[in-house]
Amino acid sequence: MLRKILSPEQCAKCRICCGFVDSDKWEIPLLTGNDERCAAEALGAVREIPGTKCSVYSMKFNGDEIIYCPAAGENGCRLGDNRPFDCRIWPFRVMDLNGTMVITLSPVCPEVKKLPLETLTEFVNSDGFTENLFSHAREYPETIKPYISGYPILAADRK
């Protein structure tokens, strides 16, 4: 989904988005839909999130120790095309800003941070990317994260 701005090789070398500490476990990707869940179950323990259509990897945290996603491999995600939607769109996120869905950019992706904001805004607003993210968020509202100050807003839902 992001090949126009980020190569799979760049992602596989970095893997910053695949490691989590206790304080950022809110970023663990949600598994939405049966294909994602079935693929993920082959690699680790998955638990359902009560009251939702989503599941998540069961990961145990120990303070600031980095815990890697069970799907993270040396050459990238071992789930391939069945990796979670959250992973396919990262470092972009759908967030809630005072009741409005916005597409934001995580400030921690080293490769995407190198790109001009104008390039990223053009990417987000091309080829149905924005509509795809908002549509997915409407179907799986639990994937919408609360807005975090400092995350650049690249698009807003036009209700």
Among 80, 105, 125, give the residue marking a domain's end. 80
Q: How far is CA 58 from CA 31, 70, 104, 151, in A?
A: 12, 9, 26, 27
Q: 3-state SS of the chain: helix, strand, coil percent to 5?
A: 35, 20, 40
Average pLDDT over residues 144-155: 93
pLDDT at 11 over 90: no
- pLDDT tens for 65-89 read 999 999 998 888 888 888 899 999 9
Within a domain: 3 = no
Q: pTM of the full predicted structure?
A: 0.88
Number of domains the chain is built from: 2
Average pLDDT over residues 108-114: 91
* 65 and 92 fall within a common domain: no
* 67 and 97 fall within a common domain: no
Q: Which domain holds residue 149?
A: 88-156
Stronger pLDDT, 133 or 12, i.e. the higher one? 133
